[in-house]
Chains A and B, each alone.
Chain A
Amino acid sequence: MAVSFRSVANGILVVVLLGIPVLLLRASAKDPHEMGAFDRAIRRIGAPLEAAVSYSTGMLGGFFERWVLQARLQDANEELAAENRELRQRMRDLVQLEEDNTELRRALQMRDRVPEDMIPAERVGVDQSPFFRVVNIRIDRGRGISQPGMAVLAADGVVGRVDKTFDDYSDVMLVTDARSKIAVEVARNHAQGILLGHSEDACVVDVSKDYDVQVGDVVQTSGVDELFPKGHPVGQVTDIELLVGDQQRLHVRPTVRFDRLDVMWLVLAAAPEADPRAEVGASLAQARGLVPVR
């Protein structure tokens, strides 16, 4: 069998190539202090290569490390953002709860403060009319109780009066409605007049020029119309307009914020007359450290 030169050359090259690792192994196995020139040359050639390998691994490792770190940071960021959203939502809920709580406490306090016989009602809607200013209320277990003309109060003052009733539901005409007329007086000097609805957030009342009225004076119900009990705040004077003759026109801003109304009170009957035989100066029971909630 003839052996070609190419086969022989390949065989020699294979042996040489296999010999290289053997020589490398031999150099590795030698004591560093007993190395010959050949072994030292092998080590010298390998040193920069080893540095290059270490550098490439370190560089790629650093790249992956940054990548993983960035991914972890992103995960942490998303978790924190979700937690933040949840906490913000809870905070909004708590603020809403606090407002509701305050509103309910004020309503309860009003129930204790006002001597008239009243029944609570909750606002269920607002009629969207450019001409009439009306809110819809619902009275729990109030079927047949509510009657047109009944006064409606809130913790801040007078809301209006019942216009129409449908079972448990009633429409309340606000004091700002153009149809509304309420007998009022200026609290400071008892200048009396009829309060008329004027615009979305204003009413007017004409009083005699004989009374000194100032901007900021409180206007309250006078009780003369026998619809509204006496002494409930209606609004504050915001402007005074002198009319021809002996009248002056007071522009009054209602004390009640109608857009924030939740709980109202329907006045069922006027307060009973004071008992003249009641003991004068009778001391009240001690509150035992409890104070009204503000």
Chain B
Amino acid sequence: MLRGFTYLIVGWLLIAVTGGIADVLGLSIVLPATSAVVIAHAAFTGERSVVAGLALAVSLGYIEDLHQGAPVGTLSLAAAVTFLILHWAAGRFAVRGWAMRGLVGVVAVILLDLATVAVLFVMADKFGVRKPALLSMLLEMRWHAIATALVAPPVWALFDRAFMWFRLDARPHSDLHLDIR
């Protein structure tokens, strides 16, 4: 419970920090999706219960919805779908080292963006979104992915260190695919 709360608070702070820096530096496209990294971290290292992880993903997605000014529910649903896919993958792949963390961050953000575009595509008529505009959004996904790949390892390490400090690392030592060192 405390672990999920930490994810939520730190995830919220990361969203706000990213938004603040982007506002000051005038960045609009090359921005990392810190929520994708948080969801990936939760899926691969912590939340073995699907329900808790899914609740976290929906909550974080909801905050992203509010923050980005997207139709409420869009990023909530996309984050939920992303978490389910990553959770499924976590049972099959191990994440070790900075490169893998960056790669998982890229995969997570691609999944999140694809899910978001898919939701918007389905709801395009309801929301009055032009479908060709959604395709151009897909092209800009590469900048999103590059920025996320850069921030994924430090964000990942931040959570590892925070859980170590607060003794919230509930992983069993024999759980090889969740190794964080």
A residues with CB within 8 A of B: 10, 13-14, 17-18, 20-29, 42, 46, 49-50, 53-54, 56-57, 59-65, 68
In Å, the complex CA distance between A65 and B26 comes to 11
Tell me the B residues contacting A by CB distance below 8 Å.
12-13, 15-17, 19-21, 23-25, 49-51, 54-55, 58, 61-63, 65-67, 71-74, 76-77, 80, 119, 123, 126-127
Secondary structure at the A interface, as helix, strand, loop or mixed, is helix
Q: Chain B contacts of A53 at CB under 8 A?
A: 12, 15-16, 63, 66-67
Contact A56 B12 (CB under 8 A): yes
Which residues from chain A contact B23 at a C-beta distance below 8 Å?
57, 61, 64-65
Are A17 and B55 within 8 A (Cβ)? yes
- Given A25-B73, A68-B25, 10 further pairs, Cβ under 8 A: A20-B58, A25-B71, A28-B71, A29-B127, A53-B67, A56-B12, A56-B13, A57-B67, A60-B13, A64-B21
Q: How far is the CA of A29 from the CA of B71 in the complex (A)?
A: 8
User: In whole angstroms, how far apart are the Cα atoms of A291 and B40 in the complex?
Assistant: 89
Contact A57 B74 (CB under 8 A): no
CB within 8 Å for A25 and B72 given contacts A20-B58, A68-B24: yes
- Residue of B whose beta carbon sits closest to that of A25: B73
Residue on B with the closest CB to A42? B72
Of A17, A23, A59, the residue contacting B54 (CB under 8 A) is A17
**Max chain B C-beta neighbours (<10 A), residue from A22, A25, A64:** A25
A contact residues around B16 at 8 Å (CB) = 53, 56-57, 59-60
Residues of A within 8 A of B66 (CB): 46, 49-50, 53-54
Task: Let me know if B51 and A17 touch, CB within 8 A.
Answer: yes
> In the bound complex, do residue A18 and residue B80 qualify as a contact, i.e. CB atoms below 8 Å apart?
yes
Interchain CB contact under 8 A, B54 and A28: no
